[in-house]
Structure 1
Amino acid sequence: MADKRKKTKIAAVGDIHVRETDRGKWEDYFKKVSQEADVLLLCGDLTDTGRTAEAEVLAQELKSCSIPVVAVLGNHDYERDHQKGIRKALINEHVHVLDGDSIVIGDVGFAGVKGFGGGFDKGMLGMFGEPMIKSFVQEAVDEALKLDGALARIDSEHVDVKKIAVLHYSPIRATVVGEPEQIFPFLGSSRLAEPINRRGVIAAFHGHAHIGTLEGETSKGVKVFNVSKPVLQKEGFDPPFYILEV
């Protein structure tokens, strides 16, 4: 018998880099997203320089968004160590800011982490060498474990839920292609792909790689989308958000 459940339209964008001077700039954008989709994903680098004041501007702009918003923070949001203030400003506007957490909306479960670097496949950095290298790798391991835990909680608490991973850093090499190869290790890590493959995720979204590639897939065939705003603009999306129906 055919599945009669309503499709969920997921809009996604990353790297919007909101500034304190952006008041009023995003209202029409969020209104348009609300008309086109059921859920909006914000895939990190929500602020330009990591200031709480920038997040407060974004929170005000999001008042024009009438659909649920799910977000993760990015490296820019950690720049000034104001990430707690940024999270609070957005949560106060009812944004679901995920950091090893999950949220189920309708029959779709969203698990989110920032992620981290470390490289991909055979070029992935290993846990060997100086303490600074080990700390770098451990951060990537910890982010992958947080993602795995968030996905596991969806499985344990909900039956027949479609799972989406929300990230800032990429879990695969394919969607950062276009960037200088020298910086690939700082754009994502294959460690993030392991829980995505194992937990039955149907799609993953990330940002961070501004001149990367829109679409790729993991070794198990899970679709991965680089929805960095500059990538979407390069691909002709106007306004720049990507929609996936699940």
Structure 2
Amino acid sequence: MVDTREKIRFAAVGDLHCRAESAGNLRALFTQAAQEADALLLCGDLTDYGLPEETHVLVNELSGVRIPVIAVLGNHDFESGMQDEVTRILREAGVRILDGEACEVAGVGIAGVKGFAGGYGRGALGHWGEGAIKQFVDEAIHEALKLESALAKLRTSERIAMLHYSPVVETVQGEPPEIFPFLGTSRLEDPLLRYPVTVVIHGHAHRGYPEGKTANNIPVYNVAKPLLQRTFPDRPPFRIIEVPKPVPEDMRP
């Protein structure tokens, strides 16, 4: 059968914060997302404390999903220092974890990275002073370079960038201003200006704002589950993102 659809649909959500006692709480969400979308995108904080037992619960909740699942990790997934084990369990269950890598789903390119903190615009922390400050900034730069490397690999006409931390300040508005520097950094926006994408998704800012734009007018969506539940109480807590069906490379102008 020829696929005549004009859009590819992605269900996006982050900040699941799965715990050992979460068994049975996420399965319905994943089932509905799988019914409405061609792929499921998970934007970090998949677990609450980054523990293998939490990850096994999450994998079990995902066991009925028959569409591709792509994910990035979040800061909570690093909490116990067992992020490699968390990643291994998810990958063995068929979840594609992106950490500076890219993949394709139905011809749509996806670049993923956790990202990091550091602040926005003139308020971004500078690479100056004590070694600890420089190390903090270096981590943000490293994550931005990983995102740039992933984006540079994509040759698709439609591209999605998925992160945990926000690359723009607009989608963290609503959080206390004092913690803005810990919710993301505009250093993550720089690769999105050099390698424009169709849409950007992230989580992390539970009390942020659901929509924003990069400096080059690319839509940015905050898909943190607590934010979606509060902002759209009449909808299931995931965001459906429709991307134009990609144009085959040999048919592009």
For normalisation by structure 2, the TM-score amounts to 0.92
CA deviations 1:21-41 (Å, max 9, x no partner) are 122222211111111111111
> Aligned partners of 1:138, 1:10: CA distance in 2, in Å?
32
3-state DSSP class of the match of 1:204? Answer: strand
3-state DSSP class of the match of 2:232? Answer: coil
**Pairing 1:223–2:207 present:** no
CA deviations 1:176-211 (Å, max 9, x no partner) are 000011111100000111111211211110000010
Cα shift at 1:134: 0.3
Partner of 1:52: 52
**Pairing 1:241–2:249 present:** no
Cα shift at 1:244: 1.0
Instruction: Note the aligned Cα RMSD (angstroms).
Output: 1.1
User: Which amino acid is 2:142 matched to?
Assistant: D
Alignment check: 8 A CA contact 1:197 1:222 kept: no
Unaligned runs of 5+ in 1: none
> Aligned partners of 2:211, 2:136: CA distance in 1, in Å?
27
> Aligned partners of 2:218, 2:121: CA distance in 1, in Å?
16
> Aligned partners of 2:143, 2:225: CA distance in 1, in Å?
23
Cα shift at 1:130: 0.4
> Aligned partners of 1:163, 1:139: CA distance in 2, in Å?
25
Runs of 4+ in 1 over 2 A off after TM superposition: none
Alignment check: 8 A CA contact 1:11 1:243 kept: yes
Alignment check: 8 A CA contact 1:99 1:112 kept: yes
Partner of 1:88: 88
User: Which amino acid is 1:148 matched to?
Assistant: E
**Pairing 1:169–2:165 present:** yes
User: Which amino acid is 1:180 matched to?
Assistant: P
> Aligned partners of 1:17, 1:65: CA distance in 2, in Å?
19
**Pairing 1:206–2:212 present:** no
For normalisation by structure 1, the TM-score amounts to 0.95
Structure 2 counterparts to residues 13-52 of structure 1, below 5 A: 13-52=13-52
Q: State, as a whole percentage, how many aligned pairs show the same letter.
A: 51
3-state DSSP class of the match of 2:71? Answer: strand
Cα shift at 1:6: 3.1
> Aligned partners of 1:50, 1:87: CA distance in 2, in Å?
10
> Aligned partners of 2:197, 2:172: CA distance in 1, in Å?
20
> Aligned partners of 2:11, 2:28: CA distance in 1, in Å?
15
3-state DSSP class of the match of 1:152? Answer: helix
User: Which amino acid is 2:27 matched to?
Assistant: E
Cα shift at 1:5: 5.8
> Aligned partners of 1:99, 1:229: CA distance in 2, in Å?
21
Partner of 2:179: 183
Unaligned runs of 5+ in 2: 244-253
